[in-house]
Amino acid sequence: MAEIIKVYKEHLPSLRFIGKCYTNADRSGGFGHKWMEWFRNGWFGELEKLGGDPNIENSYLGFMRCNSNDIENTFEYWIGMFLPPDTSVPDGYDFIDLNEGSIGVCWIKGKEDDGSIYGMHDECIAKFQEHGMGNFQDDNEKRIYFFERYNCPRFSEKDEQGNVILDYCIYLSEL
């Protein structure tokens, strides 16, 4: 069973998220098949060549945004990476420019193979609220921004029990 083992606030500089956008129509139980497509096609390698941002963890991201009043029609699932704000976007990719701001971070510890670390959005939201981080930033379309950060080595190296740690993050309102 997965569990949240750490909750904290982190500050991010202005960033450009570069990746590819998917919707619920692309979901097949989840988006694992899209991740496999990324690895097969070497798309992360193309983004890594653009250089990372020295001020952040340069991990692969599953970046999501949606309007919580209409999740079905507004949900977007992006796969990609954070890069410096002025990074040129390669053909075939799209981008989201993000302002400097704070994020809430939950470390979810569990087994990747059984999927127990995924689907803990509600538990993370409750933990953020418990830790005084319940004001989530939204954009002009009332979409909140949240993401899974696949940090190496936390996510890539299993512990003695076969567990990994997935970072689950959400942009916070500075109000």
Q: Please report, for the domain that includes residue 131, its CATH number.
A: 3.20.80.10
Q: What is the pLDDT confidence band of residue 9, given thresholds at 50, 70 and 90? A: very high
CA distance 34 to 15: 23
Domain that holds residue 109: 3-171
CA distance 51 to 163: 30
The token pair at 83 is 């890069």
Mean pLDDT in residue range 73-83: 96
CA distance 76 to 34: 13
Cα–Cα distances in angstroms (integers) from residue 103 to residues 50, 98, 126, 153, 160, in the given order: 24, 12, 15, 21, 30
User: What is the per-residue pLDDT for 175?
Assistant: 61
- Single pTM value for the model: 0.94
Domain count, the chain: 1
CA distance 4 to 169: 12
Mean pLDDT in residue range 2-22: 96
pLDDT tens digit sequence for 125-164: 999 999 999 999 999 999 999 999 999 899 999 999 999 9
